[in-house]
C-alpha cells in the first residue's frame, strides 16, 4: 500500500491525530494486521513528546458534550458514544456529564478520555467521578492507556469490515 493510502486509511485511528499513521506508514504500509498496527501505533504515541501526547489527549471530545449535541464528533466517536448510550442521556445524566467534564478539564487541563464501547452511562459516570480523585500524572497516563484501547477497537472494527 502506498504511504498516502496508508495514511488515508489509518489516519483517523487516533482522534484528529494523523501524525501517528504518518510515522508508522513506512514501517507498516504493507502490513494490515490489527495487532501489529496497534503495537506500532501505540509505540509511536508512547515515544512522542509530552507536548504531542497532550495534544493527542486534547483532540478527544468530551463525553456527552457539546460537540455531540452539535453533531461535530467524528463518525468513530459518534458510534462509540452511542454504543454506550451517551446519545440517550436523561437531562439529569447530561447535566452530571457537563459538571464532571468541566471539573475534570479545570483540574487536569485536558478532557476525560475513556474507551466507552461496552460500557453504560452509569459505569462511565462512576469512572469519571473516581478518576477525578487522581493526580495529573496518573490521569495523563490513564488517558493514554484509554486512547490506546480506543485505537485498538477502531483497528479491530476496520479489520472486521474488510
Q: What is the pLDDT of residues 117-150, one digit of tens each?
A: 999 999 999 999 999 999 999 999 999 999 999 9
Q: Annotated catalytic sites, by residue?
A: 60
Contacts of 117 (CB under 8 A, 6+ apart): 80, 83, 84, 153
Start-to-end Cα distance in the chain: 15
C-alpha atoms less than 13 angstroms from C-alpha of 31 in its C-beta half-sphere: 15
Closest CA to 66 of 105, 88, 91, 97: 97
Q: Give pLDDT, residue 109.
A: 98
Total Cβ atoms within 10 A of residue 23: 17
**pLDDT tens figures, 95-124:** 999 999 999 999 999 999 999 999 999 999
Q: What would the pLDDT profile of 14-34 be if each residue is shown by its tens digit?
A: 999 999 999 999 888 677 889
Which domain CATH number covers 20? 1.10.3330.10
115 vs 83: CA distance, rounded Å: 11
Interatomic CA distance for residues 29 and 39, integer angstroms: 14
How many domains, in total, are found in the chain?
1
Supply the range of the domain harboring residue 42.
3-160
pLDDT > 60? residue 48: yes
**Cell numbers at 18, concatenated:** 494523523
d(CA 59, CA 147) in angstroms, rounded, equals 11
Distance CA(138)–CA(130), nearest Å, equals: 12
> Would you give the distance in Å from CA 23 to the centre of its chain?
18
Mean pLDDT of 77-86: 89
Strands (E), 87-136: none
Amino acid at each position: 500500500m502506498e504511504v498516502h493510502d496508508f495514511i488515508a486509511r489509518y489516519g483517523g485511528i487516533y482522534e484528529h491525530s494523523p501524525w501517528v499513521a504518518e510515522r508508522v506508514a513506512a514501517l507498516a504500509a504493507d502490513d494490515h494486521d490489527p495487532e501489529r498496527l496497534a503495537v506500532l501505533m501505540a509505540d509511536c504515541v508512547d515515544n512522542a513528546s509530552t507536548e504531542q501526547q497532550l495534544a493527542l489527549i486534547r483532540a478527544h471530545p468530551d463525553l456527552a458534550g457539546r460537540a455531540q449535541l452539535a453533531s461535530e464528533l467524528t463518525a468513530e466517536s459518534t458510534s462509540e458514544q452511542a454504543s454506550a448510550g451517551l446519545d440517550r442521556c436523561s437531562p439529569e445524566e447530561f447535566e452530571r456529564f457537563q459538571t464532571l467534564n468541566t471539573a475534570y478539564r479545570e483540574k487536569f487541563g485536558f478532557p476525560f478520555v475513556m474507551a466507552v464501547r461496552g460500557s453504560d452511562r452509569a459505569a462511565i459516570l462512576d469512572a469519571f467521578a473516581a478518576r477525578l480523585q487522581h493526580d495529573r500524572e496518573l490521569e495523563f497516563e490513564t488517558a493514554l492507556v484509554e486512547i490506546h484501547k480506543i485505537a485498538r477497537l477502531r483497528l479491530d472494527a476496520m479489520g472486521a469490515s474488510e
